[in-house]
Amino acid sequence: MSRPLVTVLLPVHNGADHLSTSLASVLAQSFRDFELLAIDDASTDGTAAILAGVADERLRVLRNERNLGLTATLNRGIGEAHGAYIARQDADDLSDPGRLGAQVARLEGEAGLALLGCSYRRIDEDGREEGLRPVPTDAIAIRWRLLFLSAFAHSSVMIRASTLADVGPYDERFAYAQDYELWSRIARTHEVAALPEPLVSYRRSGSSLTATFAGAAAEIDAISAANVDCVLEGSGADRTAIAGFDREASWRLLFADPDGVDPEAARLTAPAILALQSAFAAASGLDRRDADRHRAATARRLAHGLGRLAVRERDPRLALAGLKTWVSSRRAPRASRGS
């Protein structure tokens, strides 16, 4: 086949349970100008037979002679890819028929855009939908989210091959959170975005890396800390400005259900989050109005999380912290009116 516009990179290790449906979801795309590069990472189940049984010239199969692990296998795929764009797909996830076409159209229309994600659905082991997962869609919201955790599902992303040539491939020091590290590295120097439509289905299963390996948490903490350090350096602030910062408590308060967050950690991290937001606005070069809007939105989210936790814990000190944070959210927009 001629050189394709897109390479869909699908590494697989013992993924026979869901591989056929994952492959079918890619091969059923309305956009046709792609190759599906599947790399069998020395599987010992029926993976090889499933791949051999697919009669479609767009499928190209490579096999590792020994198990290299996900990160090294992804980097082998990057080196072998023929496409100008590289789309990720895991062997147990699914792509909607219009996914590649929508992402290609956006990237073709914005030459400066390096990475494009999308929202996604979560499905269980049997493919039943568990809910929609919206993601931040503009560069500022994505970079803010990356201070705490990954902004996208791995299978949702399409990247320019030229961007990977510029910043480098996946960092093989990371066995589990290699996607979070790469998105962070790209977002520091390139434009990033996401489509609001849920175009992929991410399968929550016992074999998922984040569900299986506790080592993922340590890697996520390290990547988050590096991202925060970049913001502090860019703003001229230092770590003392965010004393009390707790990544786990912060992302749960801001982006998820705060159930289980330690009340003391919540109280300490609340002012640290607002201090980090100020540093982020400065490092990002936001003008006064945009910085105030971002601070107000952050404070409102934080106040809401603190309020929910205060009710559950029946903790008046948390309620007071939430009230103070809410007051902060109300002050920020007024500060910009004279600017």
Q: What is the pLDDT of residue 206?
A: 57
Q: Check if the beta carbon of residue 80 is closer than 8 Å to that of residue 169.
A: no
H helices, E strands: number in the chain: 13, 9
Q: What is the pLDDT of residue 211?
A: 47
* Judgement on whether residues 204 and 100 belong to the same structural domain of the protein: yes
Q: What is the pLDDT of residue 242?
A: 94
Query: 3-state DSSP call for residue 282?
Result: helix
pLDDT tens sequence across 178-222: 999 999 999 999 999 999 999 999 998 655 444 445 678 999 999
* Judgement on whether residues 241 and 194 belong to the same structural domain of the protein: no
Q: What is the pLDDT of residue 339?
A: 29
Q: Catalogue the E-assigned strands of 32-145.
A: 34-40, 59-63, 85-88, 94-95, 113-123, 129-133
* Judgement on whether residues 53 and 86 belong to the same structural domain of the protein: yes
* Judgement on whether residues 244 and 207 belong to the same structural domain of the protein: no
* Judgement on whether residues 58 and 165 belong to the same structural domain of the protein: yes
Element (H, E) at 12: strand 6-12
* Judgement on whether residues 191 and 258 belong to the same structural domain of the protein: no
163: buried, middle or exposed (CB in 10 Å: 19+, 13-18, 0-12)? Answer: buried
Mean pLDDT, range 305-325, rounded to an integer? 83
Q: What is the pLDDT of residue 135?
A: 95
Does residue 147 fall inside a structural domain? yes
Question: Using 50, 70 and 90 to split pLDDT, how confident is the model at 107?
Answer: very high
Phi, psi of 132 (to 5 degrees): -90, 145
Mean pLDDT, range 59-63, rounded to an integer? 97
Q: What is the pLDDT of residue 1?
A: 54
Q: What is the pLDDT of residue 328?
A: 66
DSSP-derived secondary structure for 223-236: HHHHHHHHHHHHHT
pTM (two decimals): 0.91
* Judgement on whether residues 131 and 66 belong to the same structural domain of the protein: yes
User: Above 70 in pLDDT, residue 47?
Assistant: yes
Total domain count, the chain: 2
What's 28's domain CATH number? 3.90.550.10
pLDDT tens sequence across 130-186: 999 999 999 999 999 999 999 999 999 999 999 999 999 999 999 999 999 999 999
Question: Using 50, 70 and 90 to split pLDDT, how confident is the model at 331?
Answer: low
Q: Check if the beta carbon of residue 9 is closer than 8 Å to that of residue 82.
A: no
Residue 251 tokens read as 């992302």
* Judgement on whether residues 160 and 253 belong to the same structural domain of the protein: no
Does residue 278 fall inside a structural domain? yes
Does residue 28 fall inside a structural domain? yes
Q: Check if the beta carbon of residue 195 is closer than 8 Å to that of residue 118.
A: yes
Question: Using 50, 70 and 90 to split pLDDT, how confident is the model at 335?
Answer: very low
Q: What is the pLDDT of residue 334?
A: 38
Q: Which residues pair with 63 in a beta bridge?
A: 40
* Judgement on whether residues 206 and 264 belong to the same structural domain of the protein: no
Mean pLDDT, range 89-100, rounded to an integer? 97
Domain assignment of residue 65, given as a range: 6-213
